[in-house]
Chains A and B, each alone.
Chain A
Amino acid sequence: MSYAIEMRNIRKEFPGIVANDDITLQVQEGEIHALFGENGAGKSTLMNVLFGLYQPDQGEIYVHGKKELINDPNDAARLGIGMVHQHFMLIDKFTVAENIILGREPKKHGVLDMAKAVKIVKKLSEKYGLDVDPNQKVEDITVGMQQRVEILKTLYRGSDILIFDEPTAVLTPIEIKELIEIMKRLVGEGKSIILITHKLKEIFEACDRCTVIRRGRNIDTVAITDTNPNDLASMMVGRKVNIQVNDAPYDPKEKVLEIEHLNVLDSRKVDVIKDLNLTVHGGEILGIAGVDGNGQTELIEAIAGLRKVKDGSIKINNDDVTNQKTRKIIEAGLGYIPEDRQKHGLVLDFSVGENMVLQTYYKKPYAQAGILHNKVITKKAKQLIQEFDVRTPSERTLARSLSGGNQQKVIVAREVDRSPQLLIAAQPTRGLDIGAIEFIHGKLIEEKKKGKAVLLVSFELDEILHLSDRIAVIYEGHIIDIVDPKKTDENELGLLMAGRKKGGSEA
């Protein structure tokens, strides 16, 4: 039979590395095919070859059974290959319809025919159940909707082979569900889809077959019905995956973080934390579960002194740190793995070494009398790179050029090494691959075992259930309930996160 896409024995070399080494990818007509591998395994290179951005050094590409040379993205578009990029390429100030037709505008007597454009977009949107309003401005619609606009863009250009590049990284759980439905509807209409991902859950929910690549090589292509998550994960990482378990007995020690009657305003001066009480003890991981936007970010920022507390008190180790300067709170014993690692966790244009001392650069032994001791900093950086297995050419490499997982390792290394009494981890594994997740979970558990207090905030219920000793559910700015992870399940948590207390009463 002929394949929608067949890439045979593709090899692509860059100076110093072989990004793709003899990779074969066969995508059947009308299937959702997962391309599965860790960050840096060569997924993007392979797709860029298919999309005409790179020329392969070896190998052939067949589209619908015909051998083709794809020299640039225009060739790819002509062959019906469309890419839904991870970072959207949309113009915020334009409407949905304007964005979609851009570059291929319908014309009447040489003049843009906007009415026709809106009609076309509406029709396409209805056909695939995308439910997009063509006249809204892109800046006014949600991220999920913007992604649908990207999908429509490729459909408008007549693509019948769609590449989705890590599409769920930016979506909420509900949006992910909807996206998978959309993808299924697309293949139902005869399209073929390649889904680039490193999330197992999506593969099992959406895909028909899966090609696993590791370090630029083909490992295997399997039908989803013939495999299971553990096997697939092991295939990707190349060894047995040790799911880190929080197996240390729950033995809470003294109170490390004590929050009482906390009230915080958000940027629009609306109450976002309302009378919140929370205690975290040494030797425990407290997970905060909740739907995004229920005050998690503001709560952490208030603890870290980055947001003003209107009312109430925050104590770390019995030290009142309410509305103190961030540096003082850090010195009082706060470690913080921020949610947005690139924006808040790292100075991307600093070297890895410089990033390792972002909070301690002014202290002994890294400095004395205002003069940096660069040798000591370098030594420390080298030690941490080794200890935390940060994959970087050297400590002088810019943080910007590391992969997401390694950037996060730099942050974790820095925060854990300072050995803070309280470690806040906000979405510590978002967007990371299994290997890195495993590593970071292991480190959080280690901190707990050392008797430190860990406050974990995550939108991934699995992660919360998996790691926490206690789970606090946050809803509309206060803790609605605290539950034991051993005695609860996703259903109960889901209800609590939606604001329903046990027994069905509205909170």
Chain B
Amino acid sequence: MNDGFVRQLWHYLALIFLALLALAPIWVMIATSFKDDVLVQDGKPLWFFFAPTLENYQYIVTRGKFDRYLTNSVIVGAASTAITLLLGGFCAYALARTDFRGRTLMANSTLLVRMVPPAVLAVPAFAFVTFSGVKSDLAVLTFFYTALNLPFAIWLLFGFYKQIPVELEEAAIVDGATSLQVFFRVLLPLMKSGYAVAAIFTFRIAWNEFILALLLTGRTTRTLPVGAAGFITDTGVEWGRIMAMGTLIVIPPLLFTFFAARQIIAGMTAGAVKG
């Protein structure tokens, strides 16, 4: 009994220590975002007790074009997520439910293109924007993010569709429903959590991505990460402002994590554990 208690105590202490390690750098960012330049340049770590200031946030909101970057990020994130879920959902459904020519090839190549490194996309994407004359950077970015996310979304949703008994659909078909009706009326409601996981992962990629956004967006179309990197200026890094920007960028992923940690873990382990 006593032995078990000590053990459990150690267990907790170890977990708390690890949790602090994971959290500390994020907290450093948040704390720094509330410091003025004098405190930052002083170089003394102040974790909690200092005179907080909002001037960094004030600056990025009033003069840092934060609203523009935020709008762009939201547009690209929402659009690419919606399109990914729609197209990826159709594709996963068909793959999970039918047997057709080229299915294995299709499954394999889906996983293969999932691995394409963004650095490889960079130059061709840049070439495409230069010569295609496409006017909207955001549309191009949405397109590439959708493509980047589709393989994983298909992989993930495929697993969820497989778990739904076919009998449900058969019953609907017997009642005279069409394929589309089956898809939207019967399957979608059951797939809610699957789509939620896929949405979180897709949105996260679009929200956080930097390289393609840096290359493909201009003055009016920059997304938040690109805007944040803009505070690395020629007169040094503006730490307070950049940390404030970083804090704001991190908010949505943090919210997702707190409200949907279970789904995120399901998504992360989907590839490894199920295989």
The answer on A and B forming one complex is no
